[in-house]
């Protein structure tokens, strides 16, 4: 058995590499791909006629080192986005809308882009159907609206839940 492992070690390490790469594609957590780097290092050790124990040690050391040293940096880089990046709801603030159902302080409906939203005004007289309005804030799933130019957008959405 040991002779077979020594003779076909490259197949074993290549298979381990491919299985770990496939596992990474299924999980996307950066553990398996870094372990697969260890399998590639062990494959290189095999190609340079390293002993089986050395191949296993190289696999373990490289897999551990890449997981400890590379994974945190890679995750920080992958999760980093622009500082001023707005969420999909925050992007609606400042957009124009059309009133579909009269809007008061208790509720109503507006169309923002192609979507129908519940809406309300903070204070003032009801806004009639068909009136152009501007989104000044988002409160949960409700657009807070004003007549155009009546309120400068705040830039952030809030939730009441």
64 domain-assigned: yes
Residue 108: closest CA among 78, 158, 58, 143: 143
Q: How many helices (H) and strands (E) does the chain have?
A: 5, 5
117 domain-assigned: yes
Looking at the fold, whether 37 and 71 belong to one and the same domain comes out as: yes
Looking at the fold, whether 8 and 70 belong to one and the same domain comes out as: yes
- Tell me the whole-structure pTM to 2 decimals: 0.53
121 domain-assigned: yes
Half-sphere exposure of 74 (CA within 13 A, CB side): 12
Q: What pLDDT does 106 receive? A: 93
N-to-C CA span, the chain: 63
Structure tokens, 112: 């923002």
Residue with tokens 């992007």: 91
Measured distance CA(116)–CA(122) in Å, rounded: 19
Which residues, 6+ apart, have CB-to-CB distance to 131 below 8 Å?
A: 98, 99, 147
What CATH number is given to the structural domain containing 138? 2.40.50.140
Contact 104, 117 (CB under 8 A): no
Domain that holds residue 49: 2-79
103 domain-assigned: yes
Q: What pLDDT does 80 receive? A: 78
Q: What pLDDT does 158 receive? A: 61
158 domain-assigned: no
74 domain-assigned: yes
Residue 24 Cα distances to 75, 89, 109, angstroms: 14, 32, 45
Looking at the fold, whether 63 and 22 belong to one and the same domain comes out as: yes
* Beta-carbon count within 10 A of 36 CB: 21
| Domains of the chain: total | 2
Q: Cα 26 to the chain's mean position, in Å?
A: 16
Looking at the fold, whether 99 and 125 belong to one and the same domain comes out as: yes
Q: What pLDDT does 136 receive? A: 93
119 domain-assigned: yes
pLDDT in 10s for each residue of the chain, 161 residues:
778 777 889 999 999 999 999 999 999 999 999 999 999 999 999 999 999 999 999 999 999 999 999 999 999 888 877 766 667 788 889 999 999 999 999 999 999 988 999 999 998 889 999 999 999 999 989 999 998 866 555 555 665 55
């Amino acid at each position: 058995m040991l002779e077979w492992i020594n003779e076909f070690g490259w197949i074993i390490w290549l298979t381990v590499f491919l299985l770990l790469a496939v596992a990474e594609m299924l999980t996307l957590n950066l553990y398996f791909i870094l372990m697969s780097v260890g399998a590639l290092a062990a494959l290189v050790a095999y190609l340079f006629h390293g002993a089986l124990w050395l191949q296993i040690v190289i696999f373990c050391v490289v897999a551990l080192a890449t997981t400890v040293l590379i994974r945190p940096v890679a995750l920080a880089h992958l999760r980093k986005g622009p500082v001023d990046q707005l969420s999909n709801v925050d992007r609606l603030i400042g957009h124009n809308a059309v009133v579909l159902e009269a809007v008061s302080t208790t509720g109503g409906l507006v169309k923002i882009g192609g979507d129908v939203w519940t809406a309300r005004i903070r204070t003032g007289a009801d806004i009639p159907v068909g009136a152009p309005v501007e989104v000044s804030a988002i409160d949960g799933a409700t657009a807070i609206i004003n007549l155009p130019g009546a309120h400068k957008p705040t830039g952030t959405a809030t939730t009441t839940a």
